[in-house]
A and B are shown apart, each in its own frame.
Chain A
Amino acid sequence: MVNGYSPKSLQQALLIRSKEAVIPYAGGTDLMVQNKKGAVYLFLNKIDELRQITDDGEYIRIGAAVTFTEGLKSDLIPQIMKEAVSRIAAPAIRNAGTFGGNLGNASDKADSVLIEVAMGAKVRLLSVGRERIMPVEEFFIKRGNTALADDEIIAEILLPKDKCSAPFYYKKVGGRNALAISRVALAGVYEIKDGVIASFSAAAIAGGGVFQRYPEIEAGFIGKTADEIKANKSEYLKAYSEKLTFARGRVSAEYRKTVIMNLIGDYIDTL
């Protein structure tokens, strides 16, 4: 037995959210497995306003209830996101799972969130009479914990357009080829202008409850040519090796560290 509200409009949804202790429900692929006792859900998956993918000139805006399958079919979604989303779970789950749910679920292994962090995406949060827009990196505090207020819902994810067509690196390592949670993953986007790196990001899933991204190391890539970076590859690797943390987990820290360092090396090689 599942109890909940099925509002027809965003306004209705926000009103219910402001008054009742409800769990926002987009695709349900995690919530229905958790099957929390006594839970009351706010079903957002039928609300049209949350199911659009739009281009406002500055951002590609992905509605929270857009499913992964819909994202894969859209011309607006950048390739790096498609590569990550296409490796989430299996087709049946991608048909139900959503971008908003992946973020709201607050997993440090969420494949679409890694891309958002790497792209410097923002999240748009709504409550009755209020809107907040903040970087996804700030919104995701740590595993199981986000900045979502009790009266808010995730409305949209905003991907900066200038990063959408930029060259990128993405590699996911799971335990098998389908229905696999990322053990290690690395995603990054970069831009080259006038022969030098104009922007650079590298975000990692490597366990420990967070997505790891180090702007101070990234800053060291700016203004360099790809050849200069490759010539100093060991310096960059050393910097990452000192910064990255690997909490204990089911998959050994030795494994995660070796693999993420190999992937960062590979990323540098592809610049």
Chain B
Amino acid sequence: MREICRSIKKKDHDPKIEGRSRYLADYNLTDSGREILCGKLLRSQYARARVKGVELPDMPDGYIYVDASDIPGDNNVNIVLDDTPVFARETVEYIGEPIGMIVGPDEKEVSRLISETKVDYEALEPMTDLRKADKAFFNYEFGHGDVEKAFAEADRVFEEEFTTGYQEQAYLEVQGMMAEPEDDGKMYVHGSLQCPYYVHGALARAMGTGPDGVHIYQDVTGGGFGGKEDYPSILGCQVAVAAKKANAPVRCYFDRREDMEFTPKRHPSLCRYKMAVKDGRVTAVDCDVIFDAGAYSTLSAVVLQRGIIAAPGIYDIPNVHVTGRALKTNTVPCGAYRGFGAPQTFFAVEMMMSHIAQALGEDILEFKAKHYVKQGDKTSTNGLYHFPVPIPAMVDEVDELSDLRRKHKEYSKPQSGRYRRGIGLSTYFHGAGFTGSGERDIIKAVAKLHKYPDGTVEVLASNSDIGQGVRTTFPKIVAHELNIPLEKVYYDHPDTARVPDSGPTVASRSLMTVGELLRRAAIKLRNIWVEGEEQEVEEHYKEPDFMIPFYLDRFEGDAYPTYAWGVNAIEVEVDTYTGVTNILGAYASFDVGTPVDYNIVMGQMEGGFLQGIGYASIEKMDYDKNGKIWNRSFTDYLIPTAVDVPELKVTLHVEEYPDGPYGAKGAGELPLVGAAPAFVAAVEQALGGAEKHPLHSAPFNAEDVISELNKEVK
């Protein structure tokens, strides 16, 4: 591996280990020495209702109530469609929707006032069934080839339906934001967040100030996983409106239950797949992808786009037709979560391919292998796989780690004891960076380097370190190009008053896209370096020349410049008495290009894989017919621990990407995406295969195993 891959101590290691890092909840006073008021949200008790009035208890001095009527700008949070209100309009659309906020000095008193506030509702009929939902926020369709003809000429046609559930990000630090009115009339908003400029855009609109009237700072953030992509924009507007009215700093952070119940999660999905097979090959795929958006559209457009582009998987299928809808239900709005729509469709397509192979009496691994795309093939959107597709070599690597091929044959023989084994394979990609031309047309990232007279260099960019290490890897790249010690380069938490907009911390883009801007900026600085002088250089994003322009209206062109690739094998032993599935081993090969820091990347790969295994197995969350989520604590919503997957082996396959720094591609999301189909396929094999027990849902937990086995008895 390259020199740049060598692991170094993370820049935030010491302050975090020593407990010096200051999270939002740690502020006793603001940095300017002011008292901080506590804000708590008054939330809807109904999934859908008209709010006829709010009756406040007697408000002690220093306590105020804030709602939509206090918003200086307009009551729409800038996300994609801007349909999410800062505070509820005439109706509330989900349980927990913020109607207003009570603000005051004492937290307990604020809680008391919230609990004694009476809201007069006129209940309306909520939509809490995805199968009946009919309001589509987004409705997409694309394809190529002649799907009808392929189905007409098919030897066999397969039709199946797949579902996936919510997934909660379960970051260590819950959501929290604070707003401080400044002496010059500006509003300063900071907190636990991924995308300072997203919050900035939202604040400028809601506060009616324009971009110069606000600035946003990212505090030390205890994990995001996508959960802090859009939500801090909403909470940021709420605390800013409150701070404006109170003319004092206001902070709001949630307790765990509030966070789990009322902040965005992964979209539940319902995917209907139809595939045509002719002469032993899949010739057509027609799929309908439905995502449960929740009550407002927030990020559903882009989550859905990524999901449907991945819907045909990594298979060379000549005829493709895909429809995708994000439907409204009266439930908490879903948002971003590592993988961003792709885990849902990869679950469906991987299970579908495996079921077809079994129905045809073919070996699943070989059946998939003969359909893999390769370099130069067309993508689902008529773009190209411009670079090598290393999947076959990666399957071999995983086979070496796990003995996949032998075990897969062995476990496909009939099993009858209490404990039964299976091993499942998934093969997939994750499109690196933004979908489509967003990077070129919307983000237009800018990054700067500022050199001080003493020779230290500051990175100026808007990407948040949320544990993935950009405070370390950005300086590492710059120090490497400038050939100066790492201690001479630093990257502070971004404040939009100081840093250019290098885009949000999403889509596995930070290192690949912004890291490359910084690498080029560093070369520029090296070339003009004058000892002892203050100097600044700037780089702007340029789309790589090879890219086929993407048109969102017809889903045509290169949706991504390149792809990160993943191969997972998960081996299980199912206890048929208890339904408990013991994970004997989880094995993966990941190609994220060059790992700019080996330990950081391996941490991402192992952590993301484990998160995916949770999604596949035990992380179950759902709402009832009233739109209420019950699994809202870590007692009822279980995530895997280290002892649940003791044998977790990951290897890196490096296919360098010429337009990423030193060959790096998107990394963060990839490891989560393929765990669900690998796990569920393993359980399916253990239960006797798809003929006996075809499985169609994730997560698949012990209760699901028992109800599946109980079908045999009945």
- Chain A interfacial positions (CB closer than 8 Å to B): 90, 171, 173, 175-181, 184, 250-252, 254-255, 258-259, 262-263, 265-266
Residue of A nearest to B710 (CB): A258
Q: B707 touching A255 by the CB < 8 A rule?
A: yes
Q: Which residues of A contact B418 (CB under 8 A)?
A: 266
Q: A259 touching B577 by the CB < 8 A rule?
A: yes
Q: Which residues of A contact B630 (CB under 8 A)?
A: 250
Q: A255 touching B579 by the CB < 8 A rule?
A: yes
Q: Known contacts A250-B630, A255-B703, A255-B707; is A176 also within 8 Å of B578 by CB?
A: no
Within the complex, what minimum Cβ distance (angstroms) separates A134 from chain B? 30
Within the complex, what minimum Cβ distance (angstroms) separates A186 from chain B? 10
Q: A259 touching B579 by the CB < 8 A rule?
A: yes
A263 to B580, CA, bound (A): 13
Q: Which residues of A contact B706 (CB under 8 A)?
A: 254-255, 258-259
Within the complex, what minimum Cβ distance (angstroms) separates A248 from chain B? 12
Within the complex, what minimum Cβ distance (angstroms) separates B453 from chain A? 50
Q: Which residues of B contact A259 (CB under 8 A)?
A: 577-579, 706
Q: A262 touching B578 by the CB < 8 A rule?
A: yes
Residue of B nearest to A175 (CB): B638
Q: Which residues of B contact A90 (CB under 8 A)?
A: 641
Within the complex, what minimum Cβ distance (angstroms) separates A44 from chain B? 26
A43 to B480, CA, bound (A): 58
Q: Is B32 an interface residue (CB 8 A)?
A: no
Q: B638 touching A180 by the CB < 8 A rule?
A: yes
Contact string against A for B residues 632-646, beta-carbon threshold 8 Å, 1 for contact and 0 otherwise: 000110101111100
* Residues 5 to 63 of chain B near chain A (Cβ within 8 Å): none
Q: Which of B636, B702, B707 has the most CB of A within 10 A?
A: B702
Q: A176 touching B641 by the CB < 8 A rule?
A: yes
Q: Which residues of A contact B618 (CB under 8 A)?
A: 175-176
Residue of A nearest to B580 (CB): A173
> A263's contact among B577, B636, B638, B644, by CB below 8 Å, is which?
B577
Q: Which residues of B contact A184 (CB under 8 A)?
A: 578
Q: Which residues of B contact A171 (CB under 8 A)?
A: 578
A90 to B634, CA, bound (A): 15
Within the complex, what minimum Cβ distance (angstroms) separates B159 from chain A? 29
9 closest residue pairs by CB, A with B: A262-B577, A255-B703, A175-B638, A178-B641, A177-B643, A173-B578, A178-B643, A177-B644, A258-B706
- Beyond contacts A178-B641, A254-B710: 9 other A-B pairs, Cβ-Cβ < 8 A, are A175-B638, A178-B642, A179-B641, A250-B631, A254-B707, A255-B707, A258-B706, A258-B710, A259-B706
A252 to B642, CA, bound (A): 26
Residue of A nearest to B703 (CB): A255
Within the complex, what minimum Cβ distance (angstroms) separates B645 from chain A? 9
A176 to B643, CA, bound (A): 9
A255 to B636, CA, bound (A): 16
Residue of A nearest to B637 (CB): A175
* Residues 619 to 666 of chain B near chain A (Cβ within 8 Å): 630-631, 635-636, 638, 640-644
Q: B635 touching A181 by the CB < 8 A rule?
A: yes
> B640's contact among A176, A181, A252, A258, by CB below 8 Å, is which?
A176
List, sorted by A's number, 30 A–B pairs whose CB atoms are closer than 8 Å: A90-B641, A171-B578, A175-B638, A175-B701, A175-B702, A176-B618, A176-B644, A177-B641, A178-B641, A178-B642, A178-B643, A178-B644, A180-B638, A181-B635, A250-B630, A250-B631, A255-B579, A255-B702, A255-B703, A258-B579, A258-B706, A258-B709, A258-B710, A259-B577, A259-B578, A259-B706, A262-B578, A263-B578, A265-B577, A266-B418
A175 to B642, CA, bound (A): 14
A263 to B577, CA, bound (A): 7
Contact string against A for B residues 566-601, beta-carbon threshold 8 Å, 1 for contact and 0 otherwise: 000000000011111000000000000000000000
Within the complex, what minimum Cβ distance (angstroms) separates A150 from chain B? 28
Within the complex, what minimum Cβ distance (angstroms) separates A211 from chain B? 19
Q: A250 touching B577 by the CB < 8 A rule?
A: no
Within the complex, what minimum Cβ distance (angstroms) separates B701 from chain A? 8
A250 to B640, CA, bound (A): 19
Q: Which residues of B contact A252 (CB under 8 A)?
A: 703, 707
- Chain B interfacial positions (CB closer than 8 Å to A): 418, 576-580, 618, 630-631, 635-636, 638, 640-644, 701-703, 706-707, 709-710
A254 to B152, CA, bound (A): 44
Within the complex, what minimum Cβ distance (angstroms) separates B505 from chain A? 30
Q: Which residues of A contact B635 (CB under 8 A)?
A: 181
A219 to B269, CA, bound (A): 52
Q: Which residues of A contact B579 (CB under 8 A)?
A: 255, 258-259
Q: Which of B577, B618, B630, B631 has the most CB of A within 10 A?
A: B577
A250 to B641, CA, bound (A): 21
Q: Which residues of B contact A181 (CB under 8 A)?
A: 635
Q: Which residues of B contact A255 (CB under 8 A)?
A: 579, 702-703, 706-707
Residue of B nearest to A252 (CB): B703
A177 to B640, CA, bound (A): 8
Q: Known contacts A178-B644, A258-B710, A259-B578; is A173 also within 8 Å of B636 by CB?
A: no
A258 to B709, CA, bound (A): 10
Residue of A nearest to B583 (CB): A177
Residue of A nearest to B707 (CB): A254
Within the complex, what minimum Cβ distance (angstroms) separates B416 from chain A? 15
Q: Which residues of A contact B710 (CB under 8 A)?
A: 254, 258
Q: Which residues of B contact A180 (CB under 8 A)?
A: 638
Q: Which of A171, A180, A251, A259 has the most CB of B within 10 A?
A: A259
A254 to B710, CA, bound (A): 9
A177 to B618, CA, bound (A): 11
Q: Which residues of B contact A250 (CB under 8 A)?
A: 630-631, 636
Within the complex, what minimum Cβ distance (angstroms) separates B636 from chain A? 6
Q: Which residues of A contact B638 (CB under 8 A)?
A: 175-176, 180
Within the complex, what minimum Cβ distance (angstroms) separates A181 from chain B? 7
Q: Which residues of B contact A177 (CB under 8 A)?
A: 641, 643-644
A175 to B581, CA, bound (A): 10
Residue of A nearest to B701 (CB): A175
Q: Which of A181, A255, A265 has the most CB of B within 10 A?
A: A255
Q: Known contacts A176-B638, A255-B702; is A266 also within 8 Å of B644 by CB?
A: no
> B577's contact among A179, A254, A266, by CB below 8 Å, is which?
A266
Q: Which residues of B contact A263 (CB under 8 A)?
A: 577-578
Residue of B nearest to A179 (CB): B641
Within the complex, what minimum Cβ distance (angstroms) separates B577 from chain A? 4
Residue of B nearest to A183 (CB): B702
A266 to B644, CA, bound (A): 24
Q: Which of A175, A178, A251, A258 has the most CB of B within 10 A?
A: A175
Q: B702 touching A173 by the CB < 8 A rule?
A: yes
A255 to B577, CA, bound (A): 10
Q: Which residues of A contact B702 (CB under 8 A)?
A: 173, 175, 255
Within the complex, what minimum Cβ distance (angstroms) separates A136 from chain B? 25
A258 to B577, CA, bound (A): 8
Residue of A nearest to B646 (CB): A177
Within the complex, what minimum Cβ distance (angstroms) separates A172 from chain B? 9
A265 to B418, CA, bound (A): 12
A262 to B576, CA, bound (A): 9
Q: Which residues of B contact A254 (CB under 8 A)?
A: 706-707, 710
A176 to B646, CA, bound (A): 13
A178 to B644, CA, bound (A): 7
A262 to B419, CA, bound (A): 13
Q: Which residues of A contact B643 (CB under 8 A)?
A: 177-178
Q: Which residues of B contact A266 (CB under 8 A)?
A: 418, 577
Within the complex, what minimum Cβ distance (angstroms) separates A49 from chain B? 34
Q: Which residues of A contact B636 (CB under 8 A)?
A: 250
Within the complex, what minimum Cβ distance (angstroms) separates B54 from chain A? 27
Within the complex, what minimum Cβ distance (angstroms) separates A83 from chain B? 16
A171 to B636, CA, bound (A): 21
Residue of A nearest to B418 (CB): A266
Within the complex, what minimum Cβ distance (angstroms) separates B601 from chain A? 27
Within the complex, what minimum Cβ distance (angstroms) separates A8 from chain B? 33
Q: Which of B578, B701, B710 has the most CB of A within 10 A?
A: B578
A250 to B246, CA, bound (A): 43
A137 to B579, CA, bound (A): 29
Residue of B nearest to A261 (CB): B577
Within the complex, what minimum Cβ distance (angstroms) separates A107 from chain B? 12
